[in-house]
Copies of this chain bind each other. A is one copy, B any other.
Amino acid sequence: MYHKKRAQTYDCGLDLVGEILYGKWKIRLLYFINEGHIRPGQLQKKIPEATRRVLNVQLNELENHELILKTIFPVLPPKVEYRLTELGQTLIPLILSIGLWGDKHEERLREILKKTNEQRQ
């Protein structure tokens, strides 16, 4: 497992949240788990752009950060389920608001991103 070389300082709440939510797929993982897609395979179907590997990595981090809980059923073929911890649940309203904001400004944001992505040629 990779470990950071640069020391981290967490000055304020915003920093702390940044640290645990910073990851390309994390917020979406939380979102989908909350929606009931609780098995690894289901999550992969919801986020096909990500490889299974990365999802595992990020799920592990979410678990270490105590936002989700993993249950491994001792059956074959293997079965795993994730669910939000209490702490994780308290994040859901925030995630939903962020999503709503994005939906509300979707058109505008797409234009903006289109423009800036074009510039980079």
Contact = CB atoms under 8 A, between A and B. Distances in A.
B14 A98 contact: yes
A65 interface: yes
B16 A110 contact: yes
B94 A13 contact: no
A103 interface: yes
26 contacts: A3-B117, A3-B121, A8-B117, A10-B109, A12-B99, A13-B100, A13-B101, A14-B28, A14-B31, A15-B102, A16-B102, A16-B110, A17-B99, A17-B101, A17-B109, A18-B24, A19-B113, A20-B109, A20-B112, A22-B24, A64-B115, A65-B116, A87-B108, A90-B101, A94-B98, A97-B97
B102 A14 contact: yes
A44 to B, nearest CB: 14
A13 B49 contact: no
Q: How many copies does the complex hold?
A: 2
Interface residues of A, number: 52
Nearest to A6: B49
A117 B115 CA distance: 39
